[in-house]
A and B are shown apart, each in its own frame.
Chain A
Amino acid sequence: MSDAKIPAGYDPVTLEVIRMRLDSIVEEMGIAMIRSSGSPVITEGGDFNTALFDAEGRIYAYSDFVQMHIGTGSMAVKLLMEAIEGEPLSPGDAFICNDPHSSGASHAPDTTVISPIFIGAKHVGWAHSQAHLVDVGGMNPGGFAPAATDCFSEAIRMPPGVKIYDRGEPVESVKRTILNNVRVPKLYWNDVRSLVASNNTGIRRLVETINEFGLDEFTRYTALNFELAERLVRTRITAIPDGVYRTSDFTEHNGHRDGAFEIACAMIVEGDSVTLDFEGSAPQTDGFVNCSYGALMGAIAAVIVPVLAWDVPFNEGVMSAFTVLAPRGSIVNPESPAPVSNGHLTTGSRVSRVVAKLFSQACMRSEDAVIQQRTQGQWADSWTGGIAAGVGADGEYFVFFNMDGSGSGAGAQPTGDGVDCAGLMTQINNVLPDVEMNEMLYPILYLWREVGPTTAGHGQFRGGMGLDFAWTLHGVDEAVQTVFAPIARIPAEGHGGGLPAGGSGHAILRGTNVESLRNSKAAVTKGTVLFESRDIPALNASGLKLSSGEVFHQWIAGGGGFGDPLLRDPEKVAKDVHDGYLAATIASQTYGVELGSTGAVDHGATAERRTSIRRDRIGREPQIANGEAGVSSAPVRRDGAWICPASGAVISEKDDWREDAIVKQDEAEGWLSDNGTQVRGGDGFISVTVEQFYSPVCGSLLDTRLAVTELAPH
């Protein structure tokens, strides 16, 4: 067994059988939740997770519904254990919590129920289920409170250790208190029941599994499972060159104020360990964008899994190689009373972007063939939301939390285009609602719902496109709208010469002809709607009045591109044009692809055009040597020198190849617009510049970066 990775005394088959069993148990818990829940956020949005922990709070297995909750779940269990230390615990007990400051929750709507697991009298673990509940009280329906200046206005806050079920029976006093504080108590309680049903499912399957193998054997094997996962991740980290990698990103608005709230991170790679240090990040702010510590850990895990542990069953071991340092009182580790209700979908998502970018920077320096490829265009990581609330025709209060918000684009990959409407990177198993689903449940009528061609980042591989839709009220006369468009001005960046993507936004069309069109039974479509004004709300806004006939329009950011657009297969460009997802002018100007009168690629003209674009970029004749077909422009290190693989050109022999690149800078909104991509301008608060790095030899676009300057203090 000297070569074997499995130590003596363990049967590799039993090891895998136990691992598969644990994965199937958490999956079954999730199915129990989906099937018994009444909330579209759970059933359609999949915004929940299930997990099993050992008695010490180490995670055995975790279901892939939303990966961000990995961090929050682990913290919730550990904080509960601290809170109830010494208190009696019985089978059938269940604890509820949602306070982001004390219980690990990412924001207050993410409600957790944790149940102890017993074998006989012995406490052997915890079942954990968490879901985004539709309403948790507070100043805004839906629990997102852009106007809040502290966490007390945001929601009812349950700390660790609130017992909601006692030996299988609801604790009525607690139940009454909670239900008195939420807007849709029936729905709330039914969802709590779904969380408990999910835990029950996990408990019975785990108990059965432990009985089958015996507790000692089970414990021994799960410990080895932790170790093996850790070992693989550490091996992969070793393939990343040691060093300190730095980058930063910005949260664009704090809920009631524009600004640029910096998320700074240094990634220190040392042997088989990584430290992520957020020193230098902005102090906590009085708006809802502060990212709770649980959400921070989740945002980091949501990147580590796809980048370094994509093929490893998730357990405690995956995260062991990482140390996270976040200054207390900062935007990434706030203290009470900082409001946090949208921190995970703004600052937290930006943390994912920052960490993904750090990995892209670091992995591209690796000479390991696999690790070198773990790079990508950024995802549109920040969640664009719309919540409408009002009184329906039946007199009942409704909260239309539109899960269409998960229609953002994925970053382009070294292997292909980013997926359209993929959701955040963390949203494994993302599901968007059907139009008929939303129209059946809420008093609205969609006018269109399409993918937005101006949202994707261009590149050899295009970023995924985001959703673009509009609706008008139908059956009610008014509603109040909350919006957040946290990825409006600083969109997803590309990698290796891919271009930045477009941003998100909302518009309310007022003074429209919708009523008169409807009275004459004419079609109300993008082409027929006329309006007097097009109100563009602030990035975050609540209390927006919507009246019948007005049109609510939302568009969602796309993913960043990968590789120089001049390297894109001309046939793919022609198809995009033919399908209406790319303008022919952009095909020519950005991709260098010329189409003939039938729409087919003119290969001669395309080759000429592409060479001429390269020439314009660097002001001299481009040299293209032994390029490898089909590979990208993302620089790679070979024998100490930086190469553009697509052209074979040696770009630089310096440690940072950028020092030898030809750099151009343009104002982002205008430059992207010229390339057919839409972002919101800085509105006088910030200025965003696109820096383009061209190979001095072959004229390939090697990288684009967004540089952000704050114009007004916040």
Chain B
Amino acid sequence: MTTHVGIDVGGTFTDAVAVRDGVPFRAKAFSTKDVTTGILAALDVLSERLDLTTTTLLPTVERFVLGNTIVTNAVDEQKYSKVALIVTKGFRDTLRIARSARTNERDPHAMAPAAEIVRRDMILELDERIDSVGQVLTPLQDEELADVVQQAVNAGAEAIAVCLLWSFRNPVHEQAVGAFLAENHPGIPFSLSSSLTPVYREYERTVTTVLDAAVKPLVADHFAQLADRLREDGLQVPVQIMQVHGGFLSVQETSKAPISMFNSGPVGGVTGAKILGQTLQRSRILTADMGGTSLDAAAIVDGELRLLPRAEVGGFPTSLTAVDIETIGAGGGSLAWVDGRGLLRVGPHSAGSNPGPACYSNGGSRPAVTDAAVVLGLIDPDYYLGGSVSLDQTLAEKSLIEHVGIELGLSAAEAAQGVYRLATSQMSNALRRITVNRGHDPREFTLVAFGGACGLFAAPLAREAGVREIVVPRSAAVFSAYGLMHADSVFSSVKTTPWSVDMPASALEAEFAELEATAQQWFDAEGTPQERREVYREADVKFAGQIFEVTTHLDDGEFDEEAKPRLREAFVRDYEKEFGAGTAWTEVDIVVVNVRVRAVGRSEIQVSTTNDGTGQKVAPTRERTILEPNAASPCVVNAYRGFTSTENVRGPLIIEEPDTTIYIPRDATVRVIDTGDLLITLDDCSAPEAIVAELELEGASA
């Protein structure tokens, strides 16, 4: 009997999923401030579902994966430890200059400096200098180092971040600082930029290093507490922690660079969608995860998550690589308003969970997207979250009339339609950005829609984005936790190594070999069996003279002189995929900036099937009156609880699950597929003709 457990700590709920011999169980508990208590509570509920207790469940667990928000919360609330930052002399203001804190904000009243994460008196300078080729111009002096560290300690530093110019090219000075700290101040955690993120651009590197150091004490305490407690309760296997790049690491590895846990929450869902796609044999998956305040969208092409360099953390650009997730502020709680021109807008402000949408009767008076869905009849006010929260339709109508209807001359129902359509339109822009802007045709994708609010919008959203097929997982509401269990362990090691084609291939080969050796050490430390080890070589490449690089996969085997033209071909292919055919700089040589090795320990996937495949007769629960978002008048539809038809059923209809509601419009059909999930198919989409043309035209004239 094997048990895998996945836990996803969210803002409101902590979800736990167990798969025991292929059978899934799920449980929810309220998240707690200390995170640990919420995790333990969710485990208690989960154990009950399995007719066990936590102490009898944990010893049988073979795999324990945790998606943790402790770092995300710390960053969002700016709850940082007191950090000292050590920099090269003369460059004390890098964080303040912030590479100019201008954004796309047009209102000068709203322009603001970057948040201060390190007080200026805690930024200390070292007389040392390394140049762009890694040559030491001014060596570090031991005495000065001791003096600077003492200043940091005296100022009360709880953690120390070190980011010196060009340290990624030559880490000798940062390493000296690290060695000194480890020996003389073992109680103060520190982060070295050259170990954490050895890539160029000191601003992003400094930010990343400072944020990492700033959450280290917090994370160390949390892990010590959690790991102790789980071990006491009988857990035999190490806890694995989800990372922002889409794989997981052990507690020990995570503690070395905790910032990589930031925003790993949505990654669980994306990973789940990837696994689901493999099960369904769909090579292109688009995900839409819609909760209370935002929609997260990601694209999975040929079974791979797209990784993006320079991920943003707490409003700062960092040098982290993260799963490419497009987030927009449109969720169930997004507020509708009328702007100065008399136009309807939705978001980005959100009613959150407190006071929440007007229909929550919790003091909120402004209309949210959820209010619109209630007014349209898409949500049954008496069956929201399985009836656990009762909604007030009158308040929803009142809010729409007062804040939208009067000004625009619309009835509550018309206003609700407008809010619904506008929200859908905004969300579809996110789906388009993640597909069309990256050079993909949305018609080739299957949309996997999950998160509490997504079922209400999935079908119209897909239509507007040009997607034809939608899968709503049966476990939509706890899908992220489900996904976590199936993630691979991923380790990636990167080094900035300028290399041009006139240099010997062996130089690049040596760099790869060095990184690969590190990867194998990591596999050994993680105890990954040989047969599940996979190692990939990647390079960030650009045409000589360009500023930004495109990541290119190298083929297997040694990089020798014969491999040079193949690297160029691969890069040109990836480049044109990004910018369109014909945009490659044909006259120019390529340059490698970073080399990277990605090591993947593949997980053993347990496929779980919940559907018995009996194809029971459709049993309409009852009839309800709804107003479709683009219809002139209301209509009566079937509302199902426990939809089981394996034959296509045509909309309009409503499917009510205990934790979510799914709306099927009249131009779509729905059925249950083998995995137990819902498959929605849209009638022929007309718009996307132009999309094909655009993809073909993309670089044709360049």
Contacts and interface: CB of A to CB of B under 8 A. Distances in A.
Asked if chains A and B come from one complex, the reply is yes
Interface of A: 1-6, 12-13, 15-17, 19-21, 24, 28, 31-32, 34-40, 43-44, 64, 92, 94, 165, 168-169, 186-187, 190, 193, 196-197, 200-201, 203-205, 207-208, 211-212, 228-229, 231-232, 305-306, 309-312, 373, 376, 406-407, 410-411, 413-417, 419-423, 425, 427-437, 439-440, 445-451, 467, 474, 518, 521-526, 578-581
B628 to A, nearest CB: 14
Given A310-B106, A311-B340, A429-B102, A208 B406 contact: no
Contact of A4 (B107, B407, B702): B407
B101 A419 contact: yes
B702 A450 contact: no
B109 A373 contact: yes
Nearest to A464: B113
B200 A436 contact: yes
A420 B116 CA distance: 13
Nearest to A5: B342
Interface string B528-546: 0000000000000001011
Nearest to A406: B100
B90 A12 contact: no
A20 B429 contact: yes
Q: Is the interface of A mostly helix, strand, loop or mixed?
A: mixed
A421 B702 contact: no
Contacts of A581: 120
B579 A212 contact: no
A310 B106 CA distance: 5
B201 A436 contact: yes
Interface string B620-640: 000000000000000000000
Contact of A16 (B202, B343, B406): B343
B500 to A, nearest CB: 11
The number of chain B residues touching the other chain, given as a range, is 35 or more
B117 to A, nearest CB: 14
Nearest to B344: A12
Contact of A38 (B127, B422, B545, B702): B545
B12 to A, nearest CB: 30
A451 B97 contact: yes
Interface string B89-112: 111111011111111111111111
Interface string B668-702: 00000000000000000001011101100111111
B479 interface: no
Interface in B373-420: 406-409, 417-418
Interface stretch (B295-303, B580-588, B601-609): B580-588
Nearest to A428: B104
Given A12-B344, A419-B101, A419-B113, A36 B697 contact: no
A94 B408 CA distance: 43
Given A204-B697, A430-B102, A40 B111 contact: no
22 contacts: A3-B409, A5-B407, A12-B344, A13-B421, A16-B345, A24-B433, A35-B579, A43-B547, A44-B547, A211-B690, A212-B690, A232-B340, A310-B109, A407-B97, A420-B97, A423-B100, A430-B102, A433-B99, A445-B129, A451-B96, A523-B129, A581-B120
B426 interface: yes
B694 A205 contact: yes
A362 B406 CA distance: 34
Contact of A440 (B136, B200, B339, B699): B200
Contact of A416 (B112, B202, B694): B112
A698 B345 CA distance: 46
Contacts of B127: 523, 525
Contacts of B406: 3
Main secondary structure of the interface of B (DSSP, over half): loop
A423 to B, nearest CB: 6
Contact of A31 (B105, B110, B129, B437): B437
Contacts of B545: 38, 186-187, 190
Given A13-B422, A24-B429, A524-B138, A204 B694 contact: yes
B99 A432 contact: yes
B96 A200 contact: no
Contacts, number: 271
B482 interface: no
Given A416-B109, A435-B202, 9 more contacts: A3-B407, A37-B547, A92-B701, A197-B580, A229-B341, A311-B340, A419-B102, A449-B91, A467-B97
A83 to B, nearest CB: 21
A32 B100 contact: no
Given A6-B343, A207-B690, A436-B166, A200 B702 contact: yes
Given A310-B107, A434-B201, A12 B429 contact: no
B203 interface: yes
A445 B100 CA distance: 21
A2 B410 CA distance: 11
A562 to B, nearest CB: 11
B414 to A, nearest CB: 10
Contacts of B690: 204, 207-208, 211-212
A622 to B, nearest CB: 30
A447 B345 contact: no
Contact of A197 (B100, B104, B579): B579
Contacts of A24: 429, 433
A37 B546 contact: yes
Contacts of A169: 701
Contact of A12 (B104, B109, B132, B418): B418
Given A2-B409, A196-B701, A449-B90, A524 B102 contact: no
B137 interface: yes
Nearest to B102: A430
A2 B409 CA distance: 7
Contacts of B96: 420, 451
Nearest to B418: A13
Contacts of A448: 89-91
A165 B699 CA distance: 13
B304 interface: no
Contacts of A407: 97, 100
Nearest to B111: A419
Given A197-B583, A311-B339, A434-B202, A417 B113 contact: yes
Contacts of A193: 583, 585, 702
A187 B700 CA distance: 20
A205 B687 CA distance: 12
Contacts of B106: 64, 305-306, 309-311, 428
Contacts of A373: 109
A580 B139 CA distance: 27
Contacts of A3: 406-407, 409
B102 A423 contact: yes
A526 B106 CA distance: 37
Contacts of A416: 109, 112
B109 A415 contact: yes
Contacts of B99: 431-434
B702 A204 contact: no
B165 interface: yes
Contact of A17 (B92, B342, B425): B425
Contacts of A435: 91, 94, 165, 202
B467 to A, nearest CB: 15
A200 B700 CA distance: 9
A284 B407 CA distance: 51
Contacts of B147: none
Given A12-B408, A204-B694, A447 B90 contact: yes
Contacts of A524: 129, 137-138
B93 A200 contact: no
Interface string B192-225: 0000000011110000000000000000000000
B341 A450 contact: no
Interface in B53-77: none
A12 B200 CA distance: 47
A36 B90 contact: no
B647 interface: no
A448 B203 CA distance: 15
